[in-house]
Amino acid sequence: MIQRPRGTRDLLPPDTRLWQAVEGVARDVFGSFGGEEIRTPVFEPTELFVRSVGDSSDIVNKEMYTFPDRKGRSLSLRPEMTAGVARAWIENHLGDQSQPLRLYYIGPMFRYERMQHGRYRQFSQIGLEIIGADTPIADAELLASMHEFFLRLGFTDLEIHLNNLGDPEDRARYQAAIREALEPRRAELCSDCQRRLDENPLRILDCKVPACQVIAAGAPAMDELAGEASRRHVAEVEAQLQLLAIPYVRNRRLVRGLDYYLRTVFEVVSPQLGTNTVLCGGGRYDRLIADLGGPAVPGVGFAIGEDRLVEVLPARFRDAVLARSAVYVVPIGDAARARVLELARGWLRSGVPVELEITGRSLKSALKRADREGFRAVAMLGEDEMRGGTVTVRDLAGGSQSAIATADVPAWWRALPPAGERAGRAES
């Protein structure tokens, strides 16, 4: 039997309903304040990621799916989206449009990760980029809409961790300070971190090896070495978050695994999953577009890991989405079976979500199924009903049952009270 590649998943119903609902909220929230969707290719020239994400990053070093095409050009499956958005901005002259641009995306990313829970080789990200504004209020607006998105899904306990990465001019000083602090303990670091100590000491702060984390705790904090401009910038972002009553914590060790970030960086963690499990990461990248050969245009953005998000969705949202909101229409006998599709199509057209019994089940077995599957209501059509032009409808949440004219089904459905926790009628 052929199996799917390691690290990939089949998303099956009813979970796909959760994905659609989450994506619907994302489109709603991120499309609501001037946001527009962008879609870029899933593969790009390898060089794009080497020049943006950085050739000392784990993502580029170890995790990219890179292959030559038939003409020998090196291509890579995108491991993240910001680089592609920046490339598209330059290539399509999006700078000719009035700025800023607020661009959101939803789509698959690819990283050759070691197998572990919550880490996949194909995973989906939902992200937002604000390009063309370098003000702290742009960062705050971005964080506010991210916060709104999580609130709409029912999250109340997520933590935003925030840090100041400084400006690139500060970076060399900071790298030197980390190197100086950690050099005496070189031998205790993992082999990756020994290499990082020479190439990019900042990355050591991000290492997942527990021994390295202990050693990294002795490194100086970036904020102490950052220049005045970046400190003022991040302080203003914090002031805005406080005004908006969006809770956050300063995390001085937060660096992020991509090279292009500066000033504001942040992550969102779920205490339920532990602080090692990050649901969202982002930050400011004012030099990225220029580094890729475009003009000096600033940007700030984030990416939410959709797979993990769906795994930890609050129960209320989950239950409401998974509740079967339809009316299960059950024909009994040949006369009813002959006409049921026609009736059901009419109800559907009038806005009643119906699901037809089409396997020939008996009434008893159909009622059992209705209960098991959590349908909102059942509509039964037998010989008597066919003769009288009626249908027997049963409210499965309230338990009441009555015979109504087939033409009255839409009005009956609209009057049906919400079923509460058991079958909270999903928005239709």
Q: Which residue has the tokens 């220049």?
A: 227
Q: What is the closest distance, in whole angstroms, from the C-beta atom of residue 302 to ligand AMP in the complex?
A: 8
CB nearer to ligand AMP: pick between 132 and 305:
305
Residue number with the smallest Cβ distance to ligand AMP: 305
Binding flags for ligand AMP, 179-208, as an x/- string (CB under 6 A): ------------------------------
CB nearer to ligand AMP: pick between 305 and 424:
305
Question: What is the footprint of ligand AMP within residues 99-118 (CB under 6 A)?
Answer: 111, 113
> Do 328 and 355 touch, CB atoms closer than 8 A?
yes
Q: What is the closest distance, in whole angstroms, from the C-beta atom of residue 83 to ligand AMP in the complex?
A: 11
How far apart, in whole angstroms, are the C-alpha atoms of residue 214 and residue 99? Answer: 44
Region near ligand AMP per CB under 6 A, out of 130-138, 141-149, 180-188, 301-309: 301-309
Q: Which residue has the tokens 């995790």?
A: 63
> Do 154 and 312 touch, CB atoms closer than 8 A?
no
Question: Rule CB under 6 A: is residue 143 a binding residue for ligand AMP?
Answer: no
Q: Which residue has the tokens 């695994």?
A: 257
CB nearer to ligand AMP: pick between 282 and 298:
282
Choose, by CB under 6 A, the member of 78, 87, 196, 308 that binds ligand AMP.
Answer: 308
In this structure, is the dihedral angle defined by the CA atoms of residues 25, 30, 33 and 38, taken in order, positive or negative? negative
Q: Which residues are bridge partners to 170 per DSSP?
A: none
CB nearer to ligand AMP: pick between 258 and 409:
258
Region near ligand AMP per CB under 6 A, out of 135-143, 239-247, 299-307, 334-342: 299-307
Question: Rule CB under 6 A: is residue 307 a binding residue for ligand AMP?
Answer: yes
Closest residue by Cα to residue 387 from 315, 342, 335, 329? 335
Q: Which residues are bridge partners to 278 per DSSP?
A: 269
Angle at Cα 267 formed by Cα 321 and Cα 79, nearest 5°?
80
Q: At what angle do helices 136-152 and 15-30 cross, to 10 degrees?
A: 150
372 CB burial (10 A radius; 0-12, 13-18, 19+): exposed
- Within 8 A by CB and 6+ apart from 360, the residues are none
Question: What is the footprint of ligand AMP within residues 264-293 (CB under 6 A)?
Answer: 278-281
Q: What is the closest distance, in whole angstroms, from the C-beta atom of residue 304 to ligand AMP in the complex?
A: 6
Choose, by CB under 6 A, the member of 123, 260, 266, 412 that binds ligand AMP.
Answer: 123
> Do 31 and 37 touch, CB atoms closer than 8 A?
yes
Question: Rule CB under 6 A: is residue 119 a binding residue for ligand AMP?
Answer: yes
Q: How many residues does the chain have?
A: 428
Binding flags for ligand AMP, 42-81, as an x/- string (CB under 6 A): --------------------------------------x-
Q: What is the closest distance, in whole angstroms, from the C-beta atom of residue 398 to ligand AMP in the complex?
A: 41
Choose, by CB under 6 A, the member of 29, 130, 303, 330 that binds ligand AMP.
Answer: 303
Q: Which residues are bridge partners to 381 per DSSP?
A: 331
Question: Rule CB under 6 A: is residue 164 a binding residue for ligand AMP?
Answer: no
Q: Which helix (H) or strand (E) holds 395?
A: strand 390-395
List of residues contacting ligand AMP (CB under 6 A): 80, 111, 113, 119-120, 123, 125, 257, 278-281, 303, 305, 307-308
